[in-house]
Amino acid sequence: MVFRNTGLPKNYDPEPIEDKWYQTWLDKGLFDADVDHSREAFSVVIPPPNVTGSLHMGHAFNNTFQDIVCRYKRMRGYNVLWLPGTDHAGIATQNVVERQLAQEGLSRHDMSREDFVKKVWEWKEEYGNRIISQQKKLGNSCDWRRLRFTMDEGLSKAVRAVFVRLYEKGLIYRGKYIINWCPRCQTALSDLEVEHSEEPGKLYYVNYPLVGEEGAILVATTRPETILGDVAIAVHPRDEKNQKLIGKKVVVPLTGGREIPIIEDNMVDPEFGTGFVKITPAHDPNDFLVGQRHGLEQLQVIDSQGIMNENALEYSGMSVEQARVKSVEDLKELGALIKVEELPHQVGHCYRCNTVVEPYLSEQWFVKAKPLADRGVKAVEDGDIRWLPEHWTKTYYQWMENIRDWCISRQLWWGHRIPAWTCESCGKLIVSETDPDICVDCGSKSLVQDEDVLDTWFSSALWPFSTLGWPENTEELRHFYPTSLMVTGFDIIFFWVSRMIMMGMEFMDEIPFKDVYIHALVRDEKGQKMSKSKGNVIDPLTMIDQFGADALRFTVAALTMPGRDILLSPSKIENYRHFINKIWNASRFALMNLDSSTPTKPSVDELNLQDRWIMERLRSVTSQVTSFLDEYLIGDAARLLYDFIWGDLCDWYLEMSKPALRGNEGEARKNANLWVLQEVFRGVLCLLHPFVPFVTEELWQAFGLEGESMEVDNWPTTDEMAEFPGVEEEMKNLQEIVRSIRNLRAEAGIPPQKVVPLSVIRTDSSWGKNLIENSGDMICLLAKVQSIKVIPTGDVPPTLSLSSVLSSGIAYLPVGDVLDIDGELTRLRKDLAQVQSDLAKSLGKLSNENFVKRAPEDIVLQEKERVESFEKKIKRIEENITSLSME
């Protein structure tokens, strides 16, 4: 006997269910993944969130996507490793601790480096795992035993090994280069750590006098304070108007007569400004490259604090803003400022402190990225790595093929310190995986380690293999690498995905993952990016408290479409909460009918149309959902399940089952119906489980289905499911008749529970006659009519009736006894006039040549479809008027 929980609470309450089952899964170790060569491995490493972070909607979507795939694969029998972890987030974490110190009236410079780093570790141990508990609340099925941190001892060892080996191959070097610099944080920044916003600005037109002849050239600049650092003026090589000036010299204003050459370079946009561009290699990344090509001086006039330095002459000691104001005043006084235009432009700010970022020439450590990128490009070209959606490969190729050297040093105290030492005695540079004791050249023990730490992305680039034990050749590394899937956002294709590919190819001689799924953004319902300043942030933890994790998970899954952003609102989550409630109530209905019975498998003859239909639908949906999930189309799978459960199962099959379940059709039919009910819910719960794991586990146990959990090896297959060819078409015809009669009832304003005496189907088709003969009682039950009959198309239709055209006939609903005929005729004539007016407007548009030629093709097509719809509606109204007018 099967023991079922037929006493499920009437109202679904997610909180106790979700807390209970998550702890149960952890206690049973169902998410743990050990090396098991008897099963195919499927591995995913989680994009590590910052230890300073808390779960936001982007995390919720990204994590839900991965969890759905991992639970699906686990149910398919794979040995699934979903490896969790967090990132030390150098700048962000250091800023958090520095703000705490500031509240005590201290700065990090008031203590030793070692004491400050110790304080950061203390903060991390107390607060750094907050996001982990939040991920568990969402339902992440990670192997938490394997939780990694980018500054774990093992990962730190991997970071050192990579740095040293790249250095020894000549792929890491130290040199001067233009980088993003935060004057407040006093560190280099990656492009991702610079946030741009459009701000009002000005374009200043300045005359540079020609040397040795009359006249001047006019140069436009947004930064007049950097004129002091100009070392050349450039024009485009194909700028015929200014070709004669190439090779001549001009005087730099504000400098007391310093002369610089006019050069040619393809970087210049002849259409911008005046066609002349001032070249300041120390303060602009494009100018820096021009300077390298032409061997120009790198004249630095702004220091690391954002202050004008000694090269800025009389402006020395001013802030950039002060120097801008003063230089404009001086240019006016000299008569060199010709005009000023308003020019809104993008200004970069530090993502942590919001200070305006300066392009800054400084000595940094760099990775020569091009040799590494070439292998990464080939891996994608050869099809070893698949990108989903596929169009992101173009973005990847564009970045990789135009890649610049990667600045990997940061002027911080928190992070992986660069493993490079300089001998104070002889100047020897020592790069080593272990801390050296003496100089290998002169034997001196006076060694000083480089003060900088590595860019956070450097350690993250090793994530797929460092987390599995590299540089040791561990069993986990051999079994789970390369990983199967990487799920991430498009904004870090450059900074993380491409670098993981490069590092994987370099150090593992193998790709780091087989598939890369690039998901879209989660925006608010108006399509705006969520931000605290706009007040449109949706907190996933608040949504979980209100609606449950399952509701949030299913919402983001169902709204997912490749290449399209998710437009989210609390009301949408609430709607899917109703869907889960629908599943709950449908399960309670099934359980109350099943009770303690153990239905036996019926013969095919004991299955009626709806039984065969719902089994065939389950078989079809199982096949489609499996196919969708194999291709990571979680949105298609979720929407299909929603339609199947709410529509096919709840709205149709459960309603059609009620006569048999009441015993009205005999014991054999009741047994058959119970058996189908049990099998359908078994399949439905399994298909739903990756999306809504908590409620499905609760219901699985309530049904008394096999196994300690449905989490492992429970995915349904179609191999053993019976096929019922043609049954879906047969059911489609039945549904068409029922919907037509229901629509006619609604048009006539007949209350839903009122039974109408008769419905008539006029048709000559054999399917219509057979359907009515075999399923007429069911049609009457669903359409709320006492009886239904079929008449040939040659017979006179019933009088005083409303009609609806079917695919192979016409449905009539005699309403003379239940309807105010005169009132209905008045309504129909009013509707007819309105539809005729709408038709005339559409026909008028289509007769207008300008509209047909100039309007977008889809708009014209839409108007043609409206005409067709209006014409059908007019014909139907006219038929009903004629029918209701006949006595």
pLDDT tens, 221-269?
999 999 999 999 999 998 888 889 999 999 999 999 999 999 999 989 8
Structural tokens at position 482: 């390369």
Spatial distance between the Cα atoms of 471 and 411, rounded to a whole number of angstroms? 27
Spatial distance between the Cα atoms of 757 and 736, rounded to a whole number of angstroms? 20
Rg (CA), the chain: 36
CATH 3.90.740.10 residue ranges in the chain? 182-360
pLDDT in the model for residue 651: 95
CB atoms within 10 A of CB 248: 14
Token pair 């001998």 is at which residue?
423
Higher pLDDT, 558 or 859: 558
Q: What is the 3-state secondary structure (H, E, C) of 16-74?
A: HHHHHHHHHHHHHCCCCCCCCCCCCEEEEECCCCECCCCCCHHHHHHHHHHHHHHHHHH
Element containing residue 338 per DSSP (H, E): strand 337-342
What is the average pLDDT across 853-867?
88
CATH 1.10.730.10 residue ranges in the chain? 547-725
What is the average pLDDT across 520-526?
88
pLDDT in the model for residue 44: 98
* Fold entry, domain 547-725: Isoleucyl-tRNA Synthetase; Domain 1 (1.10.730)
For the cut 80, the answer to whether the pLDDT of residue 191 exceeds it is no
DSSP state, residue 723: P
Q: Residues 615-635: pLDDT tens digits?
A: 999 999 999 999 999 999 999
Contact 795, 766 (CB under 8 A): no
Q: Please, which residues bridge with residue 365 across strands? A: 174
Structural tokens at position 813: 């609903």
DSSP state, residue 340: E
Residue of 416, 493, 398 lying closest to 458 (CA atoms)? 416
Q: Residues 436-468: pLDDT tens digits?
A: 999 999 999 999 999 999 999 999 999 999 999
Pairing between β-strand 386-388 and β-strand 216-221 as defined by DSSP bridges:
unpaired
Q: Residues 286-302: pLDDT tens digits?
A: 899 999 999 999 999 99
For the cut 60, the answer to whether the pLDDT of residue 1 exceeds it is no
Structural tokens at position 433: 């995986």
Higher pLDDT, 331 or 796: 331
Kindly report the backbone phi and psi dihedral angles of residue 437, in degrees, each rounded to the nearest multiple of 5, phi listed first.
-95, -35
Contact 552, 572 (CB under 8 A): no
Token pair 């520095």 is at which residue?
98
pLDDT band at residue 63, thresholds of 50, 70 and 90?
very high
pLDDT in the model for residue 849: 87
Spatial distance between the Cα atoms of 544 and 558, rounded to a whole number of angstroms? 17
Maximum separation of any 2 CA atoms in the chain, in Å: 118
Structural tokens at position 248: 């001549």
Tell me how far the alpha carbon of residue 726 is from its chain's centroid.
39
pTM of the model: 0.85
Kindly tell me the number of DSSP H helices and DSSP E strands found in the chain: 27, 31
What is the average pLDDT across 122-129?
91
For the cut 90, the answer to whether the pLDDT of residue 491 exceeds it is no
For the cut 70, the answer to whether the pLDDT of residue 887 exceeds it is no
Q: In what order do the strands lie in the sheet with 41-45?
A: 79-83, 41-45, 483-489, 513-519, 386-388
Q: Residues 334-362: pLDDT tens digits?
A: 999 999 998 887 888 887 688 888 888 88
Residue of 70, 365, 358 lying closest to 223 (CA atoms)? 358
Q: Residues 262-289: pLDDT tens digits?
A: 999 998 988 777 889 999 999 998 899 9
Q: Residues 538-550: pLDDT tens digits?
A: 999 999 999 999 9
Asked if residue 471 has a cis previous peptide bond (ω within 30° of 0), the answer is: yes
Sorted by sequence, the CB contacts under 8 Å of residue 400 that are 6+ apart come out as: 373, 376, 377, 498
Percent of the chain at pLDDT > 70 equals: 99
What is the average pLDDT across 190-203?
82
Helix, strand, or coil (residue 806): strand
Instruction: Tell me the H-state helices in 227-368.
Output: 285-294, 320-334
Can you state the angle between helices 609-630 and 57-75, rounded to 10 degrees? 110
What is the average pLDDT across 362-374?
93
Sorted by sequence, the CB contacts under 8 Å of residue 666 that are 6+ apart come out as: none
Q: What is the CATH number of domain 182-360?
A: 3.90.740.10
Spatial distance between the Cα atoms of 583 and 776, rounded to a whole number of angstroms? 29
Spatial distance between the Cα atoms of 384 and 389, rounded to a whole number of angstroms? 15
> What DSSP line would sit under 725-748, residue for residue?
TTHHHHHHHHHHHHHHHHHHHHHH
Kindly report the backbone phi and psi dihedral angles of residue 9, in degrees, each rounded to the nearest multiple of 5, phi listed first.
-55, 145
Contact 416, 457 (CB under 8 A): no
For the cut 80, the answer to whether the pLDDT of residue 89 exceeds it is yes
N-to-C CA span, the chain: 62
Residue of 756, 760, 824, 749 lying closest to 798 (CA atoms)? 760
pLDDT in the model for residue 886: 66
Contact 553, 689 (CB under 8 A): no
> What DSSP line would sit under 623-673, residue for residue?
HHHHHHHHTT-HHHHHHHHHHIIIIIIIIIIHHHHHHHHTTTT-HHHHHHH
Spatial distance between the Cα atoms of 538 and 57, rounded to a whole number of angstroms? 7
Residue type, 561: M
Distances, alpha carbon 627 to alpha carbons 72, 608, 616, in Å: 12, 29, 17
Q: What is the CATH number of domain 31-169+369-404+452-519?
A: 3.40.50.620
CATH 3.40.50.620 residue ranges in the chain? 31-169+369-404+452-519
Sorted by sequence, the CB contacts under 8 Å of residue 522 that are 6+ apart come out as: 57, 58, 60, 61, 530, 556, 565, 566, 568
What is the average pLDDT across 182-202?
81
- Find the range with the poorest average confidence among 523-537, 572-586, 831-845: 523-537
602 burial (CB, 10 Å; 0-12 / 13-18 / 19+) is: middle
Kindly report the backbone phi and psi dihedral angles of residue 246, in degrees, each rounded to the nearest multiple of 5, phi listed first.
-60, 130
DSSP state, residue 242: G
pLDDT in the model for residue 33: 96
102 burial (CB, 10 Å; 0-12 / 13-18 / 19+) is: exposed
For the cut 90, the answer to whether the pLDDT of residue 593 exceeds it is yes
pLDDT in the model for residue 72: 98
Helix, strand, or coil (residue 420): strand
pLDDT in the model for residue 311: 94
Spatial distance between the Cα atoms of 40 and 77, rounded to a whole number of angstroms? 8
Average pLDDT of the residues of the chain: 92
The annotation status of 532 as a binding-site residue, yes or no, is yes
Structural tokens at position 93: 């974490």
pLDDT in the model for residue 506: 97
